[in-house]
Amino acid sequence: MTAVLDGAVPVVPPGSERGLRALAAQTRVETWRLLVRLCRNPVALLFLVLMPIGFMIALDIVLGDRISAVTGHSALYGTVPMNAVATAVNGSMVVAVGLASEQTSGLLSRLWVLPVHRASGLLARMVAEAVRIPVTTAVLLGVGAAMGFRFHQGWLGVVGWFLVPVIFGLPIAMLITTVALYWAKTPLVEAVVLVLVLAILFSTGFIPLSGYPRWVQPVVEHQPLTYTIEAMRGMSVGGPVLSPMIGVLLWSGGIAAAFLYPMVRGYRRASTR
Amino acid sequence: MTVLRGTRPNPSALAQWWVMTTRFIIPTFRNGELITATAASVGFTAGFYIPLHEFMKPAIGGMSSYGQFLMPLIALQAVYFAAMSTAFRSANDSVSGLTRRYGSMPIAPMTPVIARLSASLYRCLIGIGVALICGHVIGFRFYGGFLHMAGFVALLIVLGMLLALVGDVFGTASRNPEAAMQWMLLPQMILGMLSVGFQPAELFPKWIQSFVRNQPISQWVSVLRALAGDSTPAAGTVTWKLLAISVAWVVGPALVMGPLSASVQRRRS
């Protein structure tokens, strides 16, 4: 007897995975999937909430008074942005660990043979970052506000303050994603934590520039995390915005330019092996 | 009819312990774990000493250098990393079913735990060695003679074992090796920062000073600092009271963790 399974296989017209409409719809599904997975990840709570908030509060207790004495304003105007950016990086790391396991489990190759727009996988990762970063930034801002953080530069400053971590976080997400795509077995968490901790300890969000030994000051002054912190400091408490913002844009543009093509190539490579 | 009559094997507990211990130690020669441990110690030393040594110099209560002041914390984080690694191993054993498998074999219940702790001792010794080299580079020296130096290293080893036992229990009870290891970063960070390892208790806000002074990491840091000594008298002196407090902070937790380890081990096998 022959069983006819009518309608069991959805009929997909050829070429339906092309075009902007397909891209938008599939990116939406994929973005949602990434955000749900992140929320259910047991280490997300640790790296996106407890660690940055704990570090921020402890840092304020340990060094807050002495830093305020040097800069003339609360140390929170440096530590809240610093932890906002650190959280953005942590988030990319947690998501990238998931990506590496999706590659080894074969999910990426599975998606590659389905009628799915080629760009939707990566685009969704970037959209998910752009959605996630303002949320974690807002959580840190809430804690900071309870401790005395206030905006003094009007609504434009608030909007800009929320945008800076996204502007810097997306290129960093591209960097971390690229690493995860090429080397699925790297100890990604250890590597990111080590680099991030060093970036934090050598930034003006930790202690003021004048507190560092003279020979290391140029490194502290021009590294990307310092630029983002200084831009956000200018947008909240006041001070120069344009020059640190140029630094943020140059670093972000440079990292994005360097990693966009390797990331796209790496995604194709990881999906087709 | 055939009767299969088995003889109950009588393996040597010592040989079992040795096999289980080398099982953890041999992979470290090739899996890059030693590089990670070294990088962590070097990163921690450079990351806290370089930014803070000038900023903190006026605040460290008359000690000769910030390197001398910071060293106990550097050494403690080194043994803590060994404990995190133990948590990862025990969680792996627990999740992969190896703990349960051991439970079905003629192995004494605590032998796997002791083997993991022995492997942790090996990691501790390497961590302490790397930390002492890092400390030497930033100007740390022993001023107290051989007995105090031996006490410094011995206390670190004992603390490393205690922390490894804590890590082992936590890892065995958890269901996710990576998460277990990473969760251990949180207490280290909070208690480390809120201790007298970075700056003297007087510089903390009033409301938290008594916590900072009396929490275990601060107690251990104080003893280690006194054991290391200094060219000035500011490091404190080794008194019986100081030793008794730190011994109490080892024995007390050990009395809780030992039985807890046995019970968690039994529950997961």
Residues A103-140 pLDDT 10s: 888 898 898 888 888 888 899 999 999 999 999 999 99
Chain A nearest C-alpha distance from B55 (Å): 5
Contacting residues of A for B199, CB less than 8 Å apart = 62
- List, as ranges, residues 33-62 from A with C-beta within 8 Å of B: 42-43, 46-47, 50-51, 54-55, 58-59, 61-62
Sequence length of chain A is 273
What is the amino acid identity at position B93? D
The number of beta carbons lying within 10 Å of the beta carbon of residue B145 is: 10
SS3 B5: coil
- List, as ranges, residues 167-196 from A with C-beta within 8 Å of B: 187, 189-190, 193-194
Interior angle at CA A13, CA A7 and CA A19, nearest 5: 135
d(CA A84, CA A53): 9
Count residue pairs from A and B with Cβ separation < 8 A.
80
Residue A211's closest chain B neighbor by CA? Answer: B55
The range of the structural domain enclosing residue B248 comes to 31-267
- Residue ranges of alpha helices (H) inside chain B are 13-25, 33-56, 66-95, 98-103, 111-137, 145-173, 177-183, 185-193, 206-214, 216-228, 240-267
Q: Which of B54, B95, B213, B215 to mutate to test the interface with A (most CBs of A within 10 A)?
A: B54
Interior angle at CA A131, CA A129 and CA A135, nearest 5: 105
CA atoms within a 13 Å half-sphere pointing along the CA-CB vector of A182: 12
Where on the phi/psi map is residue A212: left (φ > 0), alpha (ψ -120 to 50), or beta?
Answer: beta
Residue B178 lies in a domain: yes
Contacts of A172 (CB under 8 A, 6+ apart): A88, A89, A92, A255
pLDDT-based confidence at A6, cuts 50/70/90?
Answer: low
What is the amino acid identity at position B216? P
pLDDT tens sequence for chain B (269 residues): 667 777 777 778 888 999 989 988 888 887 777 888 888 889 889 888 998 888 888 777 778 888 889 999 999 999 998 888 888 888 888 888 888 888 888 888 888 889 989 999 999 999 999 999 999 999 899 888 898 899 999 999 999 999 999 998 888 888 788 888 888 888 888 999 899 988 888 888 888 999 998 898 999 998 999 888 887 777 777 788 888 888 888 888 888 888 888 888 777 76
Q: What are phi and psi of A270, to 5 degrees?
A: -65, -25
Chain B nearest C-alpha distance from A223 (Å): 14
Q: Which of B30, B52, B176, B208 to mutate to test the interface with A (most CBs of A within 10 A)?
A: B52
Helix H or strand E segment including A125: helix A120-147
Q: Would you say residue A1 has pLDDT above 60?
A: no
pLDDT digits (tens, 9 = 90+) for A219-256: 999 999 999 999 999 999 888 889 999 999 999 999 99
Interior angle at CA A128, CA A11 and CA A38, nearest 5: 95
Whole-number pLDDT of residue B57: 80
Give the global pTM. Answer: 0.86
- Distant-in-sequence contacts of B255-260, Cβ < 8 A, 24+ apart: B257/B162, B257/B165, B257/B166, B257/B169, B258/B165, B260/B169
SS3 B230: coil
d(CA B6, CA A66): 74
Q: Tell me the CA end-to-end span of chain B in Å, nearest whole number.
A: 36
Q: What is the ipTM of this complex?
A: 0.83
**A26 within 8 A of A116, measured Cβ to Cβ:** yes
Residue B77 lies in a domain: yes
pLDDT-based confidence at A101, cuts 50/70/90?
Answer: confident
Q: What are phi and psi of B215, to 5 degrees?
A: -70, 155
Residue B2 lies in a domain: no
The number of beta carbons lying within 10 Å of the beta carbon of residue B33 is: 17
Q: Would you say residue A5 has pLDDT above 70?
A: no
Q: Tell which wins on pLDDT, A77 or A15.
A: A77
Residue B4 lies in a domain: no
Query: What does the domain layout of chain A look like in residue ranges?
Result: 22-271
Q: What are phi and psi of B108, to 5 degrees?
A: -65, 140
* Residue A59 token pair: 């840092």
What is the amino acid identity at position B64? S
**B115 within 8 A of B21, measured Cβ to Cβ:** yes
pLDDT digits (tens, 9 = 90+) for A154-203: 899 999 999 999 999 999 999 999 988 888 776 777 788 888 889 999 99
* Residue B144 token pair: 């107290």
Residue B16 lies in a domain: no
d(CA B103, CA B126): 31
The verdict on A66 touching B (C-beta cutoff 8 Å) is yes
Contacting residues of B for A198, CB less than 8 Å apart = 43, 46-47
d(CA B208, CA B216): 15
Q: Would you say residue A2 has pLDDT above 60?
A: no
Residue B13 lies in a domain: no
Of A55, A194, A211, the CB nearest to B55: A211
d(CA A182, CA B83): 30
Cβ pair A43:B179 closer than 8 A: yes
What is the amino acid identity at position A36? V
What is the amino acid identity at position B25? I
Whole-number pLDDT of residue B269: 67
Cβ pair B199:A62 closer than 8 A: yes
Cβ pair A187:B179 closer than 8 A: no
What is the amino acid identity at position B164? A
Give the count of domains, chain B.
Answer: 1
Cβ pair A61:B204 closer than 8 A: yes
Contacting residues of B for A202, CB less than 8 Å apart = 47, 50-51
d(CA B85, CA B79): 10
Whole-number pLDDT of residue B63: 82
Residue B32's closest chain A neighbor by CA? Answer: A187
Number of H helices, E strands in chain A: 11, 0
Residue B91 lies in a domain: yes
Chain A nearest C-alpha distance from B192 (Å): 10
